[in-house]
């Protein structure tokens, strides 16, 4: 049987950042990850790091490549009525964001953990968590080669994403679930083409939402609003490029040059929160506890914020047997989570086409965009949330 202080299930941003934060305080952990290393290092997902997330990665020794290769953005553009309007983060709130792919963050975190002797067990799927109401919970796992084992620990961190196992270890009557599903999805592609703009462009158009984003000076990440049941197979590349151009059309339209498509996929637009984020000796963090629609670029950032709170609570426990921060963990995280949900839902509602909208509601949506881009107070509120509310 393996034994450690904190058993961490999942080597996504939440699990890896937690393991690194704990190691820096002399607290042992073992990370169990269901997939192999190449898979988790290649999984293309989020790409916007809030100001505080970028600083934290640097502070834990995983920020060198991000600082060298990440793209610092001092604003974003909102495009509607065929025109772009800039929200200048630097001027409005004195902060910026860093565009750096989640898969690169993962590579950096794995490298630093392994360099420092950290234990990450790949190809190791947790299938049960027992004894949560005892002082020694146990995570049961099976490896890809068919063998199995147990990890005994003082605490379990459920960092295993939305489809993980840990949340299911909690008796259902101990949890409340909050959920909202939007009636559309995002069809995203990663393409070998230089970004058409220096900053992200969020577009509201009669044909549907479009987002121009990027991962590097030569790779773009592009999204189109699509139907929930959209079949990506029905979209030859040419159709995608034409639809994108149609949604960006107008004054000073950004010109996206078609390039080789490296990855494509449809992502649902869902908001989900479970409360509390703790059951006895199990602490849920990141997507295991909440999902936000990607319009606010908050998913990975929330995962990192959760484990920062958790690491502080665990440090207080191991250094002075204090339980108060562990007891406050769920409430502390949920305050931030609900503000991120509010912001993400607001951005999603403001920027997408809703088939059910009446002409009156459509005009309200355009008035909202007009207000946000013409009022300093409203622009500032958007900027403050987008770069990330303070981590404390």
Ligand X SMILES: Cc1cc2nc3c(=O)[nH]c(=O)nc-3n(C[C@H](O)[C@H](O)[C@H](O)COP(=O)(O)OP(=O)(O)OC[C@H]3O[C@@H](n4cnc5c(N)ncnc54)[C@H](O)[C@@H]3O)c2cc1C
Q: Two tokens at 242?
A: 């034409």
Residues 6+ apart with CB under 8 A from 246: 205, 207
Number of Cβ within a 10 Å radius of residue 352: 21
Report the nearest approach of ligand X to the CB of residue 119 (Å).
14
Residue 202 annotated as catalytic: yes
How open is the CA angle 31-32-36, to the nearest 5 degrees? 115
| 91 vs 270, beta carbon nearer ligand X | 270
Report the nearest approach of ligand X to the CB of residue 319 (Å).
26
Torsions phi, psi for 84 (to 5 deg): -100, 145
Residue 232 annotated as catalytic: no
Is 75 a residue that touches ligand X (CB under 6 A)?
Answer: no
SS3 28: coil
**How is residue 116 annotated by DSSP?**
T
Number of Cβ within a 10 Å radius of residue 381: 16
Please give the Cα distance from 275 to 289 (Å, whole number).
Answer: 8
CB 211 within 8 A of CB 268: no
SS3 88: strand
Judged by CB under 6 A, the chain residues 302 through 361 that form the site for ligand X are 303
Report the nearest approach of ligand X to the CB of residue 369 (Å).
21
Could you tell me how many residues make up the chain? 392
Task: Annotate each residue in 5-24 with x if it binds ligand X (CB under 6 A) or - if it does not, as one string.
Answer: ----xxxxxxx---------
**Residue carrying the six token digits 């393996």:** 2
Please give the Cα distance from 263 to 256 (Å, whole number).
Answer: 17
Of 202, 205, 227, the C-alpha closest to 213 is 202
Report the nearest approach of ligand X to the CB of residue 326 (Å).
19
> Looking at 51, 73, 121, 290, which residue is catalytic?
73
Which of 29, 165, 193, 225 is close enough to bind ligand X by CB under 6 A?
165
# of chain residues touching ligand X (CB under 6 A): 33
| 163 vs 321, beta carbon nearer ligand X | 163
Which of 161, 208, 254, 293 is close enough to bind ligand X by CB under 6 A?
161
| 91 vs 130, beta carbon nearer ligand X | 130
Residues 6+ apart with CB under 8 A from 229: none
Is 34 a residue that touches ligand X (CB under 6 A)?
Answer: yes
Residue 107 annotated as catalytic: no
Which of 118, 286, 293, 388 is close enough to bind ligand X by CB under 6 A?
286
> Looking at 294, 318, 329, 352, which residue is catalytic?
294
Return the beta strands (E) in 276-392 as ranges: 278-279, 282-284, 290-291
Is 46 a residue that touches ligand X (CB under 6 A)?
Answer: yes
| 56 vs 320, beta carbon nearer ligand X | 56
Is 190 a residue that touches ligand X (CB under 6 A)?
Answer: no
Please give the Cα distance from 249 to 152 (Å, whole number).
Answer: 58
Residue 73 annotated as catalytic: yes
Cα of first residue to Cα of last residue in the chain, in angstroms, is 37
| 56 vs 367, beta carbon nearer ligand X | 56
| 138 vs 297, beta carbon nearer ligand X | 297
Report the nearest approach of ligand X to the CB of residue 337 (Å).
11
Is 45 a residue that touches ligand X (CB under 6 A)?
Answer: yes
Task: Annotate each residue in 110-149 with x if it binds ligand X (CB under 6 A) or - if it does not, as one string.
Answer: ---------------xx-----------------------
**Where along the sequence are the contacts to ligand X (CB under 6 A)?**
9-15, 32-35, 40, 45-48, 102, 125-126, 159-161, 164-165, 267, 286-287, 294, 297-300, 303
Active-site amino acid positions: 73, 202, 294, 298, 386
């Amino acid at each position: 049987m393996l034994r450690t202080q904190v058993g961490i299930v999942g080597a996504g941003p939440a699990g890896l950042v937690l393991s690194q934060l704990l190691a820096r305080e002399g607290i042992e952990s073992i990370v169990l990850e269901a997939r192999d290393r190449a898979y988790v290092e290649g999984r293309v997902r989020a790409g916007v790091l809030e100001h505080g997330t970028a600083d934290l990665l640097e502070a834990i020794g995983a920020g060198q490549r991000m600082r060298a290769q990440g793209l610092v953005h001092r604003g974003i553009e909102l495009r509607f009525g065929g025109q772009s309007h800039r929200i200048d983060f630097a001027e409005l709130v004195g902060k910026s964001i860093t565009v750096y792919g989640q898969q690169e963050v993962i590579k950096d975190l794995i490298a630093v953990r392994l360099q420092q002797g950290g234990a990450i067990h790949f190809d190791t799927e947790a299938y049960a968590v027992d004894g949560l109401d005892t002082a020694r919970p146990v995570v049961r796992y099976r490896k890809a080669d068919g063998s199995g084992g147990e990890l005994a620990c003082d605490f379990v961190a459920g960092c295993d994403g939305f489809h993980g196992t840990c949340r299911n270890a909690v008796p259902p009557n101990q949890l409340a679930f909050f959920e909202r599903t939007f009636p559309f999805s995002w069809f995203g592609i990663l393409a070998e083409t230089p970004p058409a703009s220096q900053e992200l462009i969020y577009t509201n158009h009669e044909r549907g939402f479009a987002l121009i984003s990027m991962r590097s000076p030569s790779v773009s990440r592009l999204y189109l609003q699509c139907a929930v049941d959209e079949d990506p197979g029905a979209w030859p590349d040419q159709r995608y490029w034409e639809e994108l151009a149609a949604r960006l059309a107008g004054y000073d339209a950004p010109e996206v040059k078609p390039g080789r498509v490296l990855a494509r996929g449809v992502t649902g637009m869902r908001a989900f929160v479970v409360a509390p984020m703790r059951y006895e000796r199990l602490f849920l963090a990141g997507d295991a506890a909440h999902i936000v629609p990607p319009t606010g670029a908050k998913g990975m950032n929330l995962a990192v914020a959760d484990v920062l709170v958790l690491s502080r609570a665990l440090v207080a426990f191991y250094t002075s047997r204090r339980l108060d921060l562990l007891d406050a963990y769920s409430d502390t995280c949920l305050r931030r989570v609900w503000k991120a949900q509010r912001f993400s839902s607001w951005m999603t509602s403001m920027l997408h086409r809703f088939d059910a909208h009446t002409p009156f509601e459509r005009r309200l949506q355009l008035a909202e965009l007009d207000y946000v881009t013409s009022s300093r107070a409203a622009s500032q509120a958007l900027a403050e949330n987008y770069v990330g509310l303070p981590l404390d």
